[in-house]
Amino acid sequence: MKNFKNKPVDLGYNISFFDVFDLGLENRTGTYVIHDKKLTIVETSASPSIPYLLDGLKSLNIDPKDIQYIVVTHIHLDHAGGAGLLLKECPNAKVVVHPRGFRHLVDPSRLIAGARAVYGDDFNRLYNPIYPIPEDRLIIKEDGETLELEERTLTFYDTPGHAKHHFSIHDSYSNGIFTGDTIGIYYRDIEDFDFFLPSTSPNQFNPDEMLASLNKIKDLHVSHIYFGHFGMGKNPNKVYEEINKWLPIFVVTAEEVYEEHKTKTIEQLTPLISAKLFNKIKLFLNDNKIPSTHKVYAILKIDIDICSMGLADYFLKKS
């Protein structure tokens, strides 16, 4: 394991955040720690990230045995794949999950099969091992239900669009919300301006549901948005504006490709959509003085390929 580079950041409101080097990349996926007598973690990332997560806890002088709750916004492996492994170090913790995600954490075989289909030979390097979680270590939270900590209340909101097994979690103390991937990705590598894009990965992406979830979050009038990728956004209105701008671009771009190549498979459509979408994003970044050599493109290429697969899947299902 490489040296831990990003020490925990104090976000205020007794919340810390640190990098867990998902996919071996900096500024990709992070973990939040809510410092409360009922110590709580939000997001674990995949199993290869767990050593970094434990290192982050050590930097905060936190004993994993003191963790009470591990919250996963949804069950995609880059958010929850390491939960089973982390539980081995947290004997007193329970995992809080969306009702649609419960059975997949108990039996992750379908999750594993789906990820293998997407990532092929890279699956083992990126995601193994994935351990099942015993039912008695899981807590389901329905839409509107709460989790009472000592100093704050966490309220869970069903927010599909990225995935049907996704909730977002409002924190009463900070008036912030943990949004996972529901309202996109925050590309922190770009320091000149705040840059957000929607996350349309397979296989439950739905643009109408994504916008409905965005509006549900907007109606809460939150002060902060805690992204799974990557970090805290301090200007929620800017987030809503950018996702409302880019989501139609993603959908229209994919639809144009689909209408031109209706007979093609998802494997054939994905690179065509990706190339066209990537060019539009690159043109925008170039217009904003971000050079083509910028390190953000390493993450963008991965994300746009996966987003394009979700877009292709969406239009094939619609047909």
What is the domain-level CATH number for residue 91? Answer: 3.60.15.10
pLDDT of amino acid 6: 57
Question: CB-based contacts of 108: which residues, under 8 Å, 6+ apart?
Answer: 84, 130, 131, 132
Band of residue 119 on the pLDDT scale cut at 50, 70, 90: confident
* Residue closest to 101 by CA, chosen among 184, 179, 166, 182: 166
- Interior CA angle at 217 toward 304 and 199, to 5°? 5
Please indicate, yes or no, whether residues 301 and 212 belong to a single structural domain of this protein: no
Six token digits for residue 142: 């329905």
If asked whether residues 41 and 157 sit together in one domain, one would say yes
Residue 3 inside a domain? The answer is no
Domain boundary among 244, 275, 310: 244
213 and 158 inside one domain: yes
* Judgement on whether residues 122 and 180 belong to the same structural domain of the protein: yes
Instruction: Kindly give the interhelix angle for 236-260 and 207-218, rounded to the nearest 10 degrees.
Output: 170
Q: pLDDT > 70: what percent of the chain?
A: 98
Instruction: Domain of residue 167: give its range.
Output: 9-244
Q: How far apart are CA 15 and CA 79, in angstroms?
A: 18
Decide: 37 and 150 in contact? Cβ < 8 Å: yes
pLDDT, tens digit (0-9, with 9 covering 90-100), for 220-248: 999 999 999 999 999 999 999 999 999 99
Tell me, yes or no, whether 228 and 285 share the same domain. no
The verdict on 294 and 167 lying in the same domain is no
In this structure, are 175 and 287 located in the same domain? Answer: no
152 to each of 31, 57, 69, 148, 172, how far by Cα in Å?
A: 19, 21, 14, 7, 6
* Cα→Cα distances 149→12, 171, 210, Å: 17, 10, 29
Query: Which residues have CB under 8 Å from 309's CB, separation 6+?
Result: 118, 201, 202, 266, 270
Residue-wise pLDDT tens digits, 171-225: 999 999 999 999 999 999 999 899 999 999 998 999 999 999 999 999 999 999 9
Is the residue at 71 inside a domain? yes
Instruction: State the pTM of this model.
Output: 0.95
97 and 174 together in one domain: yes
Given this model, what pLDDT does residue 2 score?
43
147-168 residue pLDDT tens: 999 999 999 999 999 999 999 9
- Does the structure show a pLDDT above 60 at 5? no
* Domain C-terminal end among 244, 274, 293: 244
Same domain, 219 and 281: no
Do 206 and 272 lie in one domain? The reply is: no
Contact 167, 107 (CB under 8 A): no
Task: Identify the CA nearest to 272 among candidates 255, 289, 248, 294.
Answer: 255
Same domain? For 257 and 215 the reply is: no
Residue 297 lies in a domain: yes
- How many angstroms separate the CA atoms of 289 and 21, rounded? 27
Q: Are residue 159 and residue 22 in the same domain, yes or no?
A: yes
